[in-house]
Amino acid sequence: MPNDYFEFKQFRVSQALSGMKVTTEGCLFGAIIDAGSTRNLLDIGAGTGLLGLMLAQRISALIDCVEIDVGAAKDLAENIEASPWANRITAYHEAIQNYALRPELVYDTIVSNPPFFENHLPSKNAKRQQALHQDTLSMETLVDIAQGLLQRTGHFWVLYPTHESLLFNRLAIQKGFCLNRQWDIFHKRGDQKIWRQISCFNFIEQPSLVETLAIREESGSYTPEFQELLGPYYFYL
């Protein structure tokens, strides 16, 4: 069983009440997101607050984290309060659909590690089911909300498995987003099958940059690229 907390170099993520625990792909996503010039950032479906905390360690932006699940929202609030950046990260326990109705909301950067088991059988664990399935946040809703809340010069980042990424990217482009950058993530160097994709969208038409990254060498050790990205966060890198 996963631990009830995950210890990073500068913060701890309590996760006892959340359906989705800290994952390698979530940590990698947080490390890859380029938000250096961001002044205000929104994390949609923030869960335990992992992405917001990782980004707060790197950038000085104001960060809003929105989470609908009761248990995850409690973990989120606890993790923010215990972090060194509690003065500039805010937790909201509500549906993003309701949150987005606030007047004059606009963000430089929006990030989301959304539910993705759209066509799979429901999970036996209700919290995990809500975290993984698109019952409460569909791809179309996510795209529409991001478009409504993002600055015209802003960036929207998402993480999906390969199949869902293809569907999401197609939908986002149909609705007016442009694919700015994409990372194809592989479990091991030399693998042929892409494991996860990280996509960055904006509103500027230009050729998209595609990069690849392997988490582990064929020997099983972490790749230098992974170690460089996660070194500021993981104790053992």
Please give the pLDDT value at position 2: 64
Is there a domain that residue 140 lies in?
Answer: yes
pTM of the model: 0.92
Is there a domain that residue 50 lies in?
Answer: yes
Please give the pLDDT value at position 181: 98
Pair 45, 137: CB distance under 8 Å: yes
Tell me the C-alpha distance between 180 and 166, whole Å. Answer: 15
Tally of residues, the chain = 237
Is there a domain that residue 235 lies in?
Answer: no
Q: Is 115 helix (H, G, I), strand (E, B) or coil?
A: coil
Tell me the C-alpha distance between 217 and 105, whole Å. Answer: 43
Tell me the C-alpha distance between 86 and 195, whole Å. Answer: 34
Q: Is 89 helix (H, G, I), strand (E, B) or coil?
A: strand
Please give the pLDDT value at position 134: 45
Domain span at residue 212 reads 5-230
Please give the pLDDT value at position 105: 93
Tell me the C-alpha distance between 177 and 139, whole Å. Answer: 13
Tell me the C-alpha distance between 20 and 16, whole Å. Answer: 10
Is there a domain that residue 123 lies in?
Answer: yes
Tell me the C-alpha distance between 153 and 178, whole Å. Answer: 12
Is there a domain that residue 176 lies in?
Answer: yes
With vertex at residue 92, the alpha carbon angle to CA 180 and CA 197, rounded to the nearest 5 degrees, is 25
Q: What are phi and psi of 12, to 5 degrees?
A: -120, 140
Low-confidence ranges of the chain (pLDDT < 70): 1-2, 116-136
Is there a domain that residue 237 lies in?
Answer: no
Amino acid identity for residue 186 in this structure: F
Is there a domain that residue 102 lies in?
Answer: yes
Q: Which residues contact 2 (CB under 8 A, 6 or more apart)?
A: 15, 21, 22
Is there a domain that residue 217 lies in?
Answer: yes
Tell me the C-alpha distance between 138 and 60, whole Å. Answer: 30
Q: What is the CATH number of the domain that holds 176?
A: 3.40.50.150
Please give the pLDDT value at position 19: 87
Number of domains, the chain = 1
